[in-house]
């Protein structure tokens, strides 16, 4: 299931949609067989130059060599700790030119290149830069059409980089093939703390591959897989991986298709996991039975503080079962339950009042009370 995203800007600055262009791009990317197919060499020659921590001189040289117009924004902000160049249509060549000075730039710590149509080639240039730069800790490459080739280059970088803490790869047409490269890198890299893979096309195979990665990774603190296509066996395997994880505090699995089987597996994972604090399962087609089985894990879990089950067809029975599990767990850390747009009855409201006496800080967000709906209809 995919959600609405901003339309990316092409290198000429115009907003483009899908259609034949996407098909042609996909064919081009599928022709890429190895890293050698991309010329990612960021060296422009052997000429010795005075050390320039901003890289401005090298940037001008790179732009001339690659025949792209220099971005005056970089020249003005090369000494800032944060460089934000979103929606500027850099394209693959413009991105490569920018990557050249960033190799030696010692000022920029946070880099935002969202929506620049860099594609796999541009992504590979940024990846090569990050193998050398030991100052940048946050990178946003979302909405850049990196595709599987770009993901492969990023994965190779993650196996070498030891300073990057936050990486956003949202909305990059990543597939299960991308996961085959990225997931093993998460086992090797123990420094990355925040990873956003939302709004991609990661499917069932990704969930299966992630099982081992999440079980062995010791660095990630937050992971977003929202708006993907993880369901079936993939959802079950992913849940198993979460059960054995010892570092993740926040996980967003919203807008996938976990269903009953995934919810059951997550219930078991919550019995085993001792660190997870925030879990978003909204819009996952979870039925009442799945919610009740999930609640069995909450009966013994001591760390979950926030659970989002909104917009799932769990009905009042599912909401009641989850809230009841909190009541029956004296060690529960729950502070927030979200059942937005799910109607509840008076029994649930009464239970909430009773639970509030035990956990006064607990807040529950839910849909309308069914008794009020019936009363409203009778008045009409």
User: What is the rounded average pLDDT of the residues 329-347?
Assistant: 97
Using pLDDT thresholds of 50, 70 and 90, give the confidence band for residue 311: very high
**Which pair of structure tokens corresponds to residue 197?**
């893979």
∠ CA 323-329-330, nearest 5°, is: 125
How far apart CA 90 and CA 141 sit, in angstroms, is: 12
Using pLDDT thresholds of 50, 70 and 90, give the confidence band for residue 54: confident
Whether 57 has a pLDDT exceeding 50, the answer reads: yes
How far apart CA 177 and CA 174 sit, in angstroms, is: 8
Q: Are strands 166-168 and 336-339 parallel, antiparallel or unpaired?
A: unpaired
Torsion of CA 171, 177, 178, 182, to 10 degrees: 150
User: What is the rounded average pLDDT of the residues 35-46?
Assistant: 59
Using pLDDT thresholds of 50, 70 and 90, give the confidence band for residue 55: confident
Residue 1's pLDDT is what?
44
The backbone torsions φ and ψ at residue 50, rounded to the nearest 5 degrees and listed phi first, read -65, 145
The helix/strand count (H/E) of the chain reads as: 14, 11
pLDDT in tens, 362-376: 999 999 997 654 443
**Topology at the third CATH level for domain 51-379:** 3.80.10
Whether 16 has a pLDDT exceeding 50, the answer reads: no
How high is the mean pLDDT of the chain? 90
**Which pair of structure tokens corresponds to residue 73?**
């924004």
- Three-state DSSP at 121 gives helix
Residue 15's pLDDT is what?
46
Whether 349 has a pLDDT exceeding 80, the answer reads: yes
How far apart CA 96 and CA 154 sit, in angstroms, is: 15
How far apart CA 173 and CA 176 sit, in angstroms, is: 10
∠ CA 8-9-13, nearest 5°, is: 175
- Exposure string over 184-202, b if 16+ CB within 10 A, otherwise e: bbbeebeebbbbbbbbbbb
Q: What is the pTM of this model?
A: 0.87
* Cβ pair 50, 56 in contact under 8 A: no
* Cβ pair 277, 251 in contact under 8 A: no
Where do the H-state alpha helices sit in 103-146?
Answer: 119-132
Beta partners for 42?
A: none
Residue 21's pLDDT is what?
47
Using pLDDT thresholds of 50, 70 and 90, give the confidence band for residue 11: low
- Listed by start position, the domains of the chain span 51-379
Share of the chain above pLDDT 90, in %: 82
């Amino acid at each position: 299931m995919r959600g609405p995203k901003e339309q990316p800007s092409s290198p000429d600055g115009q907003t483009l949609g899908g259609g034949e262009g996407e098909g042609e791009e996909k064919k081009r990317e599928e022709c890429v067989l190895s890293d050698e197919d991309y010329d990612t060499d960021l060296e422009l020659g052997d000429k010795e130059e005075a050390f320039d921590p901003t890289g401005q001189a090298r940037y001008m040289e790179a732009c001339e060599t690659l025949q792209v117009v220099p971005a005056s924004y970089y020249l003005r902000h090369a000494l800032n700790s944060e460089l934000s160049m979103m929606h500027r249509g850099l394209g693959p060549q413009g991105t490569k030119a920018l990557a050249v000075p960033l190799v030696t730039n010692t000022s920029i710590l946070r880099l935002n290149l969202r929506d620049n149509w860099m594609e796999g080639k541009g992504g590979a240039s940024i990846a090569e830069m990050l193998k050398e730069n030991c100052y940048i800790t946050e990178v946003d490459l979302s909405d850049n059409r990196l595709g599987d080739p770009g993901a492969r280059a990023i994965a190779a970088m993650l196996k070498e980089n030891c300073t990057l803490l936050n990486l956003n790869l949202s909305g990059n047409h990543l597939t299960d093939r991308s996961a085959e490269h990225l997931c093993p890198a998460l086992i090797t890299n123990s420094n990355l703390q925040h990873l956003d893979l939302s709004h991609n096309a990661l499917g069932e195979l990704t969930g299966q591959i992630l099982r081992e990665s999440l079980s062995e990774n010791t660095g990630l603190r937050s992971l977003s897989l929202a708006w993907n296509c993880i369901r079936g066996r993939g959802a079950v395997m992913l849940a198993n991986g979460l059960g054995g994880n010892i570092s993740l505090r926040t996980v967003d699995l919203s807008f996938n298709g976990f269903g009953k089987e995934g919810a059951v597996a997550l219930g078991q994972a919550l019995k085993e996991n001792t660190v997870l604090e925030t879990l978003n399962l909204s819009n996952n087609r979870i039925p009442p039975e799945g919610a009740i089985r999930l609640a069995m894990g909450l009966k013994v879990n001591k760390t979950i503080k926030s659970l989002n089950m909104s917009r799932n067809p769990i009905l009042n029975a599912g909401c009641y079962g989850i809230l009841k599990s909190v009541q029956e767990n004296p060690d529960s850390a729950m502070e927030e339950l979200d059942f937005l747009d799910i109607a509840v009855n008076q029994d649930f409201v009464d239970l909430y009042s009773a639970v509030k006496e035990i956990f006064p800080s607990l807040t529950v967000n839910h849909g309308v009370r069914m008794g009020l709906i019936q009363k409203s209809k009778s008045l009409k």
